[in-house]
Structures are given as C-alpha cells and as structure tokens.
C-alpha cells in the first residue's frame, strides 16, 4: 500500500488546473446562496420554489436565487466532480498504478462524510448522493469520451423527459398524481409546522432527530438525483478527456459557442418554470408543480454549462485569471468549506445556536451568505500559506491513499 501511494499521491500544487479551483469556489458560493434558505425553511416545502408571503426586496432576492442559482450550481459542482474523476484516472494510468481500490476507498470515505454531515449538521447533504453516483461512474470509466458525453446527456435528459411525462399524465388523468412524485414529497401542514418548531426551538437532540427524519424522507429523492448526477459526471469527464478544459485558450471558440447556446436556453427554461411554479406546492397543484420542476431540471444543465463557459472565457484572459485566482484557494478547500457553511448555518439558525430561524429576510440571507463566503476566501489564502490541504481534504486523502498526507 505504501509503495502504491508513493507512486500515485495527491496532485501537487504545481500540477493543479487553476481554472477548476476557481470554478469550485464559484460553485461553492452558488450552493450556499441556495442552501442558506433551507436552514430557515422546513424541508417539507422542498421543491415548492419561492416561499409564499414574501414582498419587496425579499421576494426579489428569493426569485433571483430561484431562477439564476437554484438547481444550477449543484450541477456545476457535479460537472467538476466528473472532471476530477477523469483527472484522477488519467494520473493513475500515467503512473501505471491501480485505480479501482483507491477510488473505492475515496468514494467510501465521501459516503461516510456525507451521512455524518446529514445527521449532524444539515439534512440537505449532496455528498452521499455523489458517492453513490460515483460508484456507477466507475463502471463506465472505460467508455470513449464521446460515448460518455452521449450517454451522460441521454441519462440526464431521459430523466427530465420522464418528469415531463409525469406532469402530462397528472394533467390529463384526474387523480393520477395522488400516488405520484409530487404527492410522495408533499407533507401535511401539521408536519411542516412541527418540523419548523423543532429546528427553531429544539436542542441538539431534538434537531438531530428532525434532521434524521428529513434525511430519511428525502433518500427517496436519490432514485432520481443519483442517476441525474451520474449523467452530469459523464459530461464532466468528457470535458476533460476531450481536451476542452486542459487548454482553455485554444478552446475559446468552443466555450463561446457553449455560452451562446447554454445561457439563453437555460435561462429561458428557468424563467418559464418560475412563471408556472412560483407559489405552487406539491399538495395542491400536482400537474403544474411537476411541470415547473421538470422545466427547471431541463434548464439547469445548459445554464450550468453556460456559467462554466463564462468562467473559462474569463480565465483565458490575464485580467480574468488574476481576478478568479483570488477565489481559487477557496476552491482547493471546497469540501471543508461546504461543511463549514453547514456548521455556520446550523449554529446561526437552529434552536441550539443563535435560534435565528425565520428572523432574517431573504435579502439578509443572501448578504449573510456573501459575507461568510468572503471570509472563507480570505481564510483559505491564510490556511494554504501554512498547510497543503484543507482539514477535511487532509482526512479524505488519508482515507484514500492509506497514509497520512
């Protein structure tokens, strides 16, 4: 094990692709802008779009996040996961070292981190979903890059089309949605109010119990999200293996086309979804609720690819690379910062912390997220000037390579 790890170790700072670190930081900000709302909103309302009863700047803030950010940045992070997978595989092949055992240990460690995150900090964990999808990705690693692209898009949009079909059936057949996806994720008002009280007023034990219940309830969502993440992983793997990410300057025409296609398509679908779904909930408007969520999923991937293309184009210029380089250290510690954001959210909003649940408007939530992220960027530079890895990245690599970094 020691010999294998010595030949195939964590990537050095010199060998890192700086653009990927900047993209991870950008994705980290977007994820927190979405997640912070769900530290002060019960999970029983998940999927219902903009919260009801908002007005003025709070409604504008919530609407902006719903259209431009929600559902897009976990897709962007998934693209980066697929790129990282391809990087790890390529380095293993170059070093002539076994890949499967290392990757399985890395994935198992991520699964453990994700479950602990869900039970101890925040029920909306995405890491366990990534770990499950990563196991499926391993089985497809030998496909040619173009085959990975076609399969990834087919999986993703096949699921979107199934969601659209569900919306059509719900609209055409009276009562068809009573046992459908919308009904499965809806909850009665009493359960929603009780969950809100548990988070707002409860001590650590009560909040943890509610977290576990919410996490278990939304594990059903993995039947849809895991294959969707796998599809995006495959697209990300293609981006690296096709040479698009490795030499951004040479690929500027590709990224211009990607931005020109992905941004208007993704934004148009997101606006269409918002025009249908704002103010709806699964319990009362099944067909329109399903249609709105299907349209959001349809638009999420092209808009995320458009964002990636914009960042890549900016990175290909000297001024853009310097500006984005300020964010890159946070991207090198993305896992640590993702968990830290959950720790901050739980301590600020839950009953065992400052108990500010429901006391900060949506505009204030976005401001808080921006301040926390700015502090994370600043502390990342300080940390990485002294240590090679973020603290959780250090533990993750120890579990992966079998020796302490």
Average model confidence (pLDDT) for the chain?
89
Domain that holds residue 354: 2-401
**Percent of the chain beyond pLDDT 70?**
90
* pTM for this predicted structure: 0.90
The number of distinct structural domains making up the chain is 1
pLDDT at 155: 98
Instruction: Express each pLDDT in 178-219 by its tens digit.
Output: 555 445 555 567 888 999 999 999 999 999 999 999 999 889
Cα 311 from Cα 320, distance rounded (Å)? 8
171 pLDDT more than 90: no
Q: Are 76 and 26 in contact (CB under 8 A)?
A: yes
> How far is the CA of 366 from the CAs of 30, 33, 59, 237, 311, in angstroms?
10, 6, 12, 32, 21
How many distinct helices (H) and strands (E) make up the chain? 18, 0
Angle at 132 between CA 130 and CA 134, to 5 degrees: 65
């Amino acid at each position: 094990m020691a010999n294998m790890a010595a030949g195939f170790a964590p990537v050095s700072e010199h060998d890192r692709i700086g653009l990927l670190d900047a993209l991870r930081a950008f994705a980290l900000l977007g994820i927190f802008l979405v997640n912070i709302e769900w530290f002060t909103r019960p999970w029983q309302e998940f999927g219902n779009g903009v919260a009801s009863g908002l007005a003025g700047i709070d409604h504008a803030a919530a609407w902006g996040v719903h259209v431009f950010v929600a559902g897009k940045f976990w897709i962007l992070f998934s693209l980066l996961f697929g790129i990282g997978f391809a990087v790890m595989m390529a380095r293993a092949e170059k070093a002539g070292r076994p890949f499967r055992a290392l990757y399985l240990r890395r994935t198992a460690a991520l699964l453990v981190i994700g479950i602990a995150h869900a039970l101890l900090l925040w029920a909306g964990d995405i890491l366990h979903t990534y770990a499950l999808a990563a196991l499926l990705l391993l089985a497809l690693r030998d496909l040619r890059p173009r085959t990975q692209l076609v399969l990834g898009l087919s999986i993703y949009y096949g699921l979107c089309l199934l969601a659209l079909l569900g919306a059509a059936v719900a609209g055409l057949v009276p009562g068809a949605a009573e046992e459908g996806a919308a009904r499965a994720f809806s909850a009665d008002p009493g359960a929603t109010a009780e969950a809100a009280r548990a988070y707002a007023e409860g001590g650590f034990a009560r909040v943890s119990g509610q977290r576990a219940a919410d996490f278990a309830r939304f594990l059903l969502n993995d039947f849809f999200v895991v294959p969707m993440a796998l599809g995006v992983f495959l697209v990300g793997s293609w981006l690296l293996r096709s040479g698009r990410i490795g030499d951004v300057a040479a690929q500027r025409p590709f990224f211009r086309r990607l931005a020109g296609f992905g941004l208007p398509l993704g934004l148009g679908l997101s606006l269409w979804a918002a025009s249908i779904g704002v103010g709806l909930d699964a319990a009362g408007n099944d067909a329109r609720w399903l249609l709105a969520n299907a349209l959001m999923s349809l638009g999420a991937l092209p808009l995320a690819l458009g964002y990636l293309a914009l960042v890549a184009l900016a990175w290909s210029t000297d001024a853009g690379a310097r500006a984005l380089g300020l964010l890159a250290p946070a991207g090198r510690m993305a896992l640590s910062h993702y968990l830290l954001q959950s720790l901050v959210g739980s301590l600020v909003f839950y009953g065992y912390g400052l108990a500010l649940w429901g006391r900060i408007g949506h505009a204030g939530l976005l401001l808080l997220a921006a301040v926390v992220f700015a502090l994370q960027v600043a502390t990342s530079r300080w940390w990485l000037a002294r240590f090679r890895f973020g603290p959780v990245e250090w533990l993750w690599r120890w579990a992966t390579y079998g020796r302490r970094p």
